[in-house]
Structure 1
């Protein structure tokens, strides 16, 4: 009885699938006026490179080639000396700022210098008195320890000012210049004149953009097909890159990561997010076609494109191999001469369902 029931169910499902397949219209008839009324526009089908995969990537600067300039003390920005995109050299001023804490640190530095001078004079005097036998060795050792302590205190204040980028002295104890730590371009400005900032607040970002990289976001199945050395292209920017690292571990969003070194920069700019094409060297994929991502519609849990014909549009079943926000790589009964609908798809799908 169970076998008969299973056979009946399987037969019914098969018949239902065949009936649905036959119900899909072979062609939707639309004249030029109807196409215009529905807002339907088309785009050409392009041949996709064998095994090409689509992904999104962020253009970035390799580690060590980008530096954030932060406020060493709380203060006020009094002048901006460099603008976004300006080329700057190491040590070039980015902004002028004033800080009461800077003035206090410089005061402490001068006090440490005086303490060291006094300790050195006392040590020299005690050394001479020790040589004459006037004082014991313990007295000379005490003077020597005070000298070493004063010397350490001075070195600490000098290191503090050096790390802040502010010189030890100047006409204005509270004022100083924020300088670029490396040669490159100013890629981000986070402050304006008159703004009060706290110690450690990021103010500028300077990057050496002569070498760029692509931080690629991948699905786990795409990452599994890639290897170091595979080519990456960015057609929209006439740029090329090569994979130098792949992490197949997925994050909370179930995405893997890859890194590519840009070999031909084209018109890439650091910070932009754009679609890229991955070209696995060991790919053995079937012939595929590239269409705009918005041309692919979902119907009855399958993917379709609307291929333009002399009388209207032909719903054509496809399989999506790879996609990003802009493009999709698919297989199906297409050719390089075909054009597919990219707008008015909601209306075309409604007509498709109506004719089933």
Structure 2
């Protein structure tokens, strides 16, 4: 009898617990007109598509969230800082061809020089040795050729065997090869004289932009530069652009160049490099007119090849959700955080490279409140 009574009491306790749990669930989540199952399925579908905040337009307005439309912008307003730089191959470094002491510097910074103009004179023991080696090789080659001619005459007269002539001819070829090598080395060293004097000459036409050596200075393997010469006519424009510019600019785009204290000129984009280690895109351009000297700082306004194609939203509209830039797009009964790729920011507007079609209505001012509500909901869901 006691056993039956025990099981009876246990059953009553279980039924009571189930009743309390069901009632509590009904209080926390009361059924809607569509039914609890339909609501749960709807919320689950919204969560699958992305971060969603259930908030009507009226409630959003009362909370301080402004709903705005997406605007269209133009790539013509892309302004970038830049500078005038020498084009590739327009600047040459004048280096000492071999170690030695500087005897004389023939030019100064700003001087105009031509190809072959003397820049400096060095005295080099290694140069004197190279000249001596070349002279000795020339004497050896001359003697070998004379021996070959003599043995060929003796062979024709029948006095020596052909094998002897072949050896003499081979010696002459070896001596000629050594002479060519000695003369090539001498030419690479700047053709030093017998006392080791070497005249270093400009390799291009241009202006001396830098002098790095002085009389009495010893040039060695670590320090060989004497001067720098550049062709002032061969310049280009270099601009440092943000990564987003790479998706807006195209080779061939026109640009207007503003030069401080001078008339504006135009140019054409010639190359766009990938993003470097500093997170900068290097844009190169060819000017149509005359530019100031290299090193001059200037700015440019780019005209993109497809004006009006960019989507622009207020800066407040872009919020970072889980480390990704997002825009809260208006949907039925709420806002959904949609990931986007942003471009440059200017005058309170942000370019949207991808993620929006341009037909959406989005949360502008006060979008951060939706981000906070989203984070609050995720925290409650986690508990």
Q: TM-score, normalised by structure 2?
A: 0.60
Residue number among 94, 109, 127 corresponding to 1:69 in the alignment? 94
Residue correspondence of structure 1 range 103-252 to structure 2 within 5 A: 103-164=128-189, 166-167=190-191, 169=193, 173-199=195-221, 201-237=224-260, 238-247=264-273, 249-252=274-277
CA contact (8 A) 1:61 1:209 kept: yes
Cα distance, 1:215 vs structure 2: 2.4
* Structure 1: distance between partners of 2:65 and 2:247: 36
* Secondary structure of residue in 2 paired with 1:167: coil
Q: How many aligned residue pairs are there?
A: 266
Counterpart secondary structure, 1:206: strand
Are 2:75 and 2:304, in contact at CA under 8 Å, matched by a contact in 1?
no
Aligned position for 1:313:
none
Which of the pair has the greater relative contact order for Cα pairs under 8 Å at 6+ separation?
1
Question: Quick one: distance in 2 between partners of 1:272 and 1:153?
Answer: 51
SS of the residue 2:347 aligns to: strand
5+ long unaligned stretches in structure 1: 20-48, 289-297, 302-319, 324-328, 333-356
Q: Go from structure 1 to structure 2 and tell me whether the alpha carbon gap of 1:52 and 1:18 turns closer, same or farther (over 3 Å shift).
A: closer
Unaligned runs of 5+ in 2: 1-27, 30-38, 40-52, 67-73, 320-341, 350-383
**Cα distance in 2, alignment partners of residues 136 and 121 from structure 1:** 18
Q: How far apart, CA to CA, are the structure 1 residues paired with 2:61 and 2:225? A: 64
Q: Relative to structure 1, is the Cα distance of residues 191 and 261 closer, same or farther in structure 2, using a 3 angstrom cutoff?
A: same
CA contact (8 A) 2:98 2:127 kept: yes
Match of residue 78, structure 1, among 103, 116, 120:
103
Distance 1:253 1:50 in 2: 24
Q: Which has the higher helix share?
A: 2
Output one character per residue of 1:63-84: Cα deviation in whole Å (capped at 9) or x when no partner.
2322222111111122211111
Q: 1:50 to 1:275 in 2, by over 3 A?
A: same
**Shift in alpha-carbon separation, 1:158–1:282, aligned structure 2, 3 A:** same
CA gap of 1:219–1:130, structure 2 versus 1, over 3 A, is same
Q: 1:151 to 1:214 in 2, by over 3 A?
A: same
Residue-by-residue CA offset, 1:52-109 (whole Å, 9 max, x unaligned): 2122334222223222221111111222111112110111011111111111101111
**In structure 2, which of residues 81, 103, 110 is the aligned counterpart of residue 56 of structure 1?**
81
Q: State the match for 2:123 in structure 1.
A: 98
Equivalents in 2 of 1:271, 1:104: separation in Å? 43
The TM-score with structure 1 as length reference comes to 0.64
